[in-house]
Amino acid sequence: MVKLDPHGEELLRQFRELRPTLEQLEKDAYSLMHDALRKQGIYVTAIEHRVKTEKSLAGKLELKGAKYKTIDDVTDLVGIRVITFYTDEVDKVAVIAKNLFDIDWKESVDKRKLHQLDSFGYNSLHYICRLKEGGPRFELQMRTALQHVWSTIEHDTGYKGDVKIPREYVRQFNRLAGMMELIDDEFSRLRLAITDYRRQTLALVKDGRLDDVLLSRDSFRDYLELQPFDRLNKRIASVNQAEIYPVSLMPYLRVLESFGMETLGDVQRFIDDNSDDAYHLALSWLAITDLDILSSSTALQYLCLVHVLKQNGGQKGLNDFYDTINGENDSNYMLASMMLKQAETLPFMQKTKDED
Amino acid sequence: MATWFAYLEGSLDTSTAPETEKAMRPLYECEGKDIIFDCTGLTYISSAGLRIFLDVLKTAEGKGEHVYIKNVTDAVRTIFTITGFSNIFEFK
């Protein structure tokens, strides 16, 4: 049970009176921060916000009520906490906060810089802010997800409580804090490296230096932006004046990898070498129908079928292809047989036989 | 997870597509339900039929639900394949 002196009681009365204003402030500050982050394209783990509870305030006043002349001196009656994924984003959020709010620099503190050289801690950046139009101050905390985990665990274990913690446990805490800091930095560095790699890959793809680009999920996605199958799709669609229905081509990456392709150059050669035969195989099926809708993976599918057959994959190769793209299924054998039978009527299969 | 079944039979072509599309409309409200097209009796599917399947799939996927196609004949499966739609549906 909290016992307050008359000054503490007076501060609590002022708090109750101020509460509707604080609730409005909480909503306004949250909305401003939320909208600004979205506008800047910064995706965060969470934005927490709250008005201090009366119980929590009473506890604080019991301990250090004399420190505050009026309720306005308590700066964390409203709290906003932005939890980011990466360390560099904490600084970005801080810049956004500087533009959105008036910052009370005397009260604000970067706890990340408070630690001595021989100690570790893992804390966040705290700003004491005020809306540009005035009103009570509020506290804005900015931290990474790992800093948040650290703070929560630190709080939970009572590390900073009244009981003195033995030196060996303090040392263990410090080791963990150091490790968390290292992990946070490494995640940021890794993200930067991946972003750089993506940028370089995109540049190589755009320059047509496809042999320099390893086939991967990212590079294949970038390559698809050049619409490499578009021309063949349109050629096939022209058979029945068909609509091309967009679907993802990413599932075919596994197929291309299973063909042993290592670079985007390999994929480009696969298109160049097989397009005519893929068109004729598609034509042999579609010309006898009035089907006027095709998926955007049609060209790629026929390219794969032709590639398998030219590599002498036969029935088994076609079956493996359908297993990869459709998932293992009883119908795949039937599809493979049917495709093989149809392809055997086409010139490229005769040529393949002759070469053998 | 609850499941809705749609039983198809005969030929799903330009002449039967409008009626089929109308009958399929309740499937658009499929929150919390998977959809299974039982095609045991379906003998043929034209572009108009494929478009109905694709519309249902698009709506269901938008709601995080699955669409399965069951007991499909070889003739119908072939049409899904030669048009490149074989791998976007889950065939059972």
- pLDDT one-digit tens code per residue, B31-77: 888 899 999 999 999 999 999 999 999 999 888 888 999 999 999 99
Look at phi and psi of residue A134 and say left if phi exceeds 0, alpha if psi is from -120 to 50, else beta: left
The residue with tokens 């099926």 is A285
pLDDT(A120) > 50: no
Q: What distance in Å separates the CA atoms of residue A307 and residue A259, rounded to the nearest whole number?
A: 9
Who among B47, B54, B81 is closest to A335 (CB)?
Answer: B81
* B-proximal residues of A, 170-189, CB under 8 Å: none
Who among B46, B78, B88 is closest to A295 (CB)?
Answer: B88
Helix (H, G, I), strand (E, B) or coil at A50: strand
Task: Note whether B77 contacts A: Cβ–Cβ < 8 A.
Answer: yes
Measured at the CA of A242, the angle between CA A256 and CA B72, to 5 degrees, comes to 70
Taking contacts as CB-CB distances below 8 angstroms, the residues of chain B near A338 are 74, 78
Predicted local distance difference test score (pLDDT) of residue A344: 93
Alpha helices (runs of H) in chain A, residue ranges in sequence order: 6-39, 54-64, 87-100, 145-157, 167-206, 217-224, 230-237, 252-258, 264-286, 298-310, 314-326, 331-343, 347-355
- Quote the tokens at residue A265: 């150059």
Residue of A nearest to B50 (CA): A293
Q: Are A249 and A229 in contact (CB under 8 A)?
A: yes
Taking contacts as CB-CB distances below 8 angstroms, the residues of chain B near A289 are 79, 82
Within a 10 A sphere around the Cβ of A292, how many other Cβ atoms? 18
Question: Are the Cβ atoms of A293 and B82 closer than 8 angstroms?
Answer: no
Within a 10 A sphere around the Cβ of A318, how many other Cβ atoms? 23
The pLDDT tens digits of the residues spanning A294-353 come to: 999 999 999 999 999 999 999 999 999 999 999 998 889 999 999 999 999 998 888 766
> For chain A, what's the residue count?
356
Distance from CA of A331 to the nearest CA of B (A): 8
- Quote the tokens at residue A41: 């394209």
- Give backbone dihedrals phi and psi of B3, rounded to 5 degrees, phi first: -130, 140
Who among B78, B85, B90 is closest to A295 (CB)?
Answer: B85
Who among B46, B47, B84 is closest to A301 (CB)?
Answer: B84
Q: What distance in Å separates the CA atoms of residue A349 and residue A307, rounded to the nearest whole number?
A: 11
Residue with the bigger pLDDT between A161 and B18: it is B18
The separation between the first and the last C-alpha atoms of chain B, rounded to the nearest angstrom, is 17
When pLDDT is averaged across residues A55-70 and rounded to a whole number, the result is 87
Confidence of residue B13 (pLDDT cuts 50, 70, 90): very high
Type of residue found at A127: Y
Helix (H, G, I), strand (E, B) or coil at A267: helix
Its CATH architecture, for the domain B2-91, is: 2-Layer Sandwich (3.30)
Q: Are A265 and A213 in contact (CB under 8 A)?
A: yes
pLDDT(A165) > 80: no
Domains plus CATH for chain A? 6-184 (3.30.460.10), 213-355 (no CATH)
Q: Are A164 and A147 in contact (CB under 8 A)?
A: no
Question: Are the Cβ atoms of B83 and A326 closer than 8 angstroms?
Answer: no
Q: Are A92 and A42 in contact (CB under 8 A)?
A: yes
**Chain A, chain B: beta-carbon pairs less than 8 Å apart:** 60
